[in-house]
Amino acid sequence: MQRHNRLFIVFLLAFILRISLIFVAHHGDLNNNISWGTLAVERGLGGFYEGEDWPFSAPNQPPLTILMLVGVRAIWQAVETTSWWLNNNVNFFYSPFIWFWEEKGMTLLVKLPGILADLGIGWLIYEYFRKKNRIKLGFKLTAVWLFNPVVWYNSAVWGQTDSVVNLLGLIAVFALLDKKLIKVGIFMTLSLLFKGSLAVFTPILLVAAYLQKHRLKVWLKAASYSLIATVLVSMWFHPQIDVFFWLFNLYKQRILSGEIGFLTANAFNFWWLIDSGETLDSNIFLGIPARIWGFAIAGIGTAGIIYWLRKKFSDKTLFFSLALVALLTFLFMTRIHERYLYPFFPPATILLGLIPGLALPYTILSALHLLNLYHLFWAPSFTSLEALYRTSWLAYAIAMLNILIFFYLLRLLKKARI
């Protein structure tokens, strides 16, 4: 009972921390999310992506994200209607709540899914080690995850939903370790329908599933359930027989292409060292466009990681492969945003309990990623820190250290310490 009380306190403190930070900053991305949820409710979901007159930008997130925002808006409206009724019919109702809700209610609700997903990932980490009878270690690593500034800054301060994507993906990974291929297919599909950021994990998971030697019947069932999940999510926006063709074009033209075709979109990575300015990734380097170089390096690196995974498949090597692929693609693909390093941290946090000597690079990379997230957001404002970014050396140093940590992790792999 005492153990459960301590765990409850950790989760409660983590939740309180995040709630206290919700109104510290309002990133411009929130305006998009709030407007998409509002307009989806007002206009309806059919043909939503084909609409016009967007107050901020046209929707560039997958269907499941929009459905979540619709749910958020519906909750906001329900609370607003209820609060007005209470205000008009109950004498002791606290009337100022109405003005708070109209001004800040949507900001609170839009940030809440990411906050709850933070806690969900923390719970999955704890459960993984509890099932291995390493409860104390699970408790410690859950606390590491929940109080890592990279995690709560992303969800509570910025208001991003990277934790939601990674929660769905991590459920798929744990289902894979339990050899539940159908569950893997469903949750990985939902992750990709929410955002495409974990697409880089799919080759690793497919190879791992292949190594488990599932029967053809199970593969077909998993594929069928994935297709059903895709239809159930997408049909709200395009209830036509060509829904898969429509979805393919949506990802190709609106989602995966990205809004910024630069070498780097504020990610302190390899391409930042090449040119941190607004250089398009269609520019030629050594006779080949930079974007092709990025895909080639990521593809070759992923193939090498898969080759190693096939030789030494285990929980440890699977998590290490996922962490490596996340760091690899962040460093060497083009058009990468600063937040795209986030998928490294869930598997890396678990690896802290499996690989000796990983604590230092994990801590350094967390600090570097936090500094990258702070760049251009400037929230909360620290003028002395902001001044450091005006000198080119800081961002270059962070990019170099990110790359060095990647090669340090490769060195661990080469020395067969994994």
Name the strand (E) or helix (H) holding 411.
Answer: helix 392-414
CA-to-CA distance for 388 and 398, rounded, in angstroms? 12
The Cα 217–Cα 79 span in angstroms is 47
Residues ≥6 apart with Cβ < 8 Å to 16:
none
Mean pLDDT to the nearest integer, 133-142: 96
Q: Is 285 helix (H, G, I), strand (E, B) or coil?
A: strand
324 vs 357: CA distance, rounded Å = 16
Report, as an integer, the average pLDDT of 33-38: 97
Contact 318, 204 (CB under 8 A): yes
Helix 96-131 × helix 162-177 angle, to 10°: 20
pLDDT score, position 256: 83
Is the Cβ–Cβ distance between 164 and 117 less than 8 Å? yes
pLDDT the model gives residue 150: 98
List the structure tokens of 133: 């009878």
pLDDT of residue 3: 72
Q: What is the pTM of this model?
A: 0.95
Is 90 exposed, middle or buried, given 0-12, 13-18 or 19+ CB atoms closer than 10 A? exposed
pLDDT (mean) for 214-234: 97
Is the pLDDT at 416 greater than 70? The verdict is no
Tens digits of residue pLDDT in 346-391: 999 999 999 988 999 999 999 999 999 999 999 999 998 999 998 8
**Total residue count of the chain as it appears in this document:** 418
Question: What mean pLDDT do residues 25-48 have?
Answer: 96
Domain-wise residue ranges, the chain: 260-418
Per-residue pLDDT for 132 more than 80?
Answer: yes
Local structure of residue 251 (DSSP, 8 states): I
CA–CA gap between residue 384 and residue 302 (Å, rounded)? 40
Question: What integer is the mean pLDDT of 251-264?
Answer: 84
Nearest to 76 by CA among 95, 104, 43, 114: 104
pLDDT of 258 > 80? The answer is no
92: which 2 tokens? 């002791």
Residue 92 has a pLDDT of 87
Residue 45's pLDDT band, with cuts at 50, 70 and 90, is very high
Residue 393: burial class (beta carbons within 10 Å; 0-12, 13-18, 19+): exposed
The first and second tokens of residue 67, run together, are 């459905």
Dihedral angle sign, alpha carbons of residues 403, 409, 412, 414 = negative
- What residues pair up with 265 in beta bridges, in sequence order? 337
